[in-house]
Structure 1
């Protein structure tokens, strides 16, 4: 506010100030796309809710139905680059999934993609499942941190509409149990892909 004294009275004049919040959303989106991913995640997304929503849309939404969680692998430091990587990954997954759930009015999570050697824990995957009940496609190429086949089956069963599941190598003699449980409970499943080698006596989906 600028005050100007004329004679015996004061006149107030509003000073015009432009701010980032006045920018058109599409223009702001194009500007933020030029910023490196690490800075979008750690800095720009902290400015305000609008910026966070745009930054995370750039980072994690591949299209209107696909959530690219694989991006988090590098954004939180990587398993071998940071000793507290598991804790940071868990926190980041919780934040992103809670945000994605709030975006459900504009988008619906139908597909989720994880990265190789991401070391997603069973508790992390369970939380993701609780925030994406209408999922149709899951790509989880790394299952190193999930030792129990039964735990994977329980989580996948929560996605009643799932049509395609791709999992990392499963070296467990109960893989037939995994196939059977998924096949019985996921009625829309048409494709089950296992990356690498796995051991089973009698694989079946029925």
Structure 2
């Protein structure tokens, strides 16, 4: 009968490269909660950069003990502590090699979560935020993005425009070039955006409500813009001398004309687009949550899909 010491040595003597290859097939939760705890050589393999290019928290199952049932998950203190523990465990193993961080769409994050992530992922190039990031303070946002000087791409879902986030990006992230937004895109935010990230090259407004004057302003002032995605958008026209507005789906000819200078202008065929047809027009929360999550996860610009 083999003793415990012999068994431990056999685990420790497994080939490093083979271990890494096996571990790349595992879910990151298996790595942080089980595999990395087996022995020292396995933990060393769990820190290999090949495992940590991307940390995707969207893979957390709503049916597991890691997160609560959607659509309103991880919003209480206990769940927030779970998220902090997951972030610390995963990012400590990554040893700063994570370049893409995807939060779970239904997770609520606060300053502690974002600062925790930024301190442990100094080489981050792409960040995909969750729907519920509104607990973040200006101080927490500034502290976090100051550590992400190399950030190039950001996805922000929200019911309100992320003014403070874009101010921080403009202050610290000098290589920034790609932005995906899911908020009402009005003229005030368009003006702020051109001031904060004037060298933006790729902009996706997939599935959002867009003020027509805001779009014209963007096209007139973003001189470096190369790619624009307006698939599944609703256009909004506000009357200048009257109270009220009009919502419509077809993109105005002046906007289309201004987009002719771009390398790529993406729209959908509104009459035949399955996504536009499927868009929920009622108050059922789960229908809207599913639609918004699809808009967040998918994108016709391949570099913004995840």
Tell me whether the two structures share a fold, i.e. TM-score over 0.5: yes
* 1:58 to partner: Cα distance: 10
Residue 47 in structure 1 maps to residue 26 in structure 2: no
2:103 alignment partner, one of 82, 98, 114: 114
Structure 2, unaligned stretches of length 5 or more?
Answer: 1-5, 196-306
SS in structure 2 opposite 1:201?
A: helix
Q: Report Cα offsets for 1:57-93 as digits up to 9, x if no partner.
A: 69963xxx33334445667521348883321221121
Q: How many residues end up aligned between the 2 structures?
A: 180
1:77 alignment partner, one of 66, 74, 82: 66
Q: Report Cα offsets for 1:137-195 as digits up to 9, x if no partner.
A: 1111x1414334635641223311211111221425xx345434422432211122223
CA distance in 1 between counterparts of 2:82 and 2:122 reads 24
Q: Which residue of structure 2 lines up, in the alignment, with residue 194 of structure 1? A: 181
Residue 22 in structure 1 maps to residue 24 in structure 2: no
Q: Which residue of structure 1 lines up, in the alignment, with residue 160 of structure 2? A: 171
Q: Which residue of structure 2 lines up, in the alignment, with residue 99 of structure 1? A: 93
CA distance in 1 between counterparts of 2:99 and 2:107 reads 21
CA distance in 2 between counterparts of 1:34 and 1:137 reads 22
Question: Measured at CA, do residues 178 and 87 of structure 1 come closer, stay the same or move farther in structure 2, by a change above 3 Å?
Answer: closer
* 1:99 to partner: Cα distance: 2.0
| Contact 1:45/1:52 (8 A) holds in 2 | yes
Residue 87 in structure 1 maps to residue 87 in structure 2: no
| Contact 2:118/2:147 (8 A) holds in 1 | yes
Question: Measured at CA, do residues 170 and 153 of structure 1 come closer, stay the same or move farther in structure 2, by a change above 3 Å?
Answer: farther
* 1:98 to partner: Cα distance: 1.9
Aligned CA-pair RMSD: 3.6
Relative contact order higher in (CA < 8 Å, ≥ 6 apart):
1
SS in structure 1 opposite 2:194?
A: coil
| Contact 1:136/1:164 (8 A) holds in 2 | yes
CA distance in 1 between counterparts of 2:94 and 2:27 reads 21
TM-score normalised to the size of structure 1? 0.66
CA distance in 2 between counterparts of 1:117 and 1:193 reads 18
CA distance in 2 between counterparts of 1:20 and 1:114 reads 33
Structure 1, unaligned stretches of length 5 or more?
Answer: 1-15
CA distance in 2 between counterparts of 1:177 and 1:35 reads 37
Q: Report Cα offsets for 1:114-153 as digits up to 9, x if no partner.
A: 221122322111111112223221111x141433463564
| Contact 2:98/2:124 (8 A) holds in 1 | yes
CA distance in 2 between counterparts of 1:137 and 1:70 reads 15
Q: Report Cα offsets for 1:27-71 as digits up to 9, x if no partner.
A: 33455567777655433332123323445769963xxx3333444
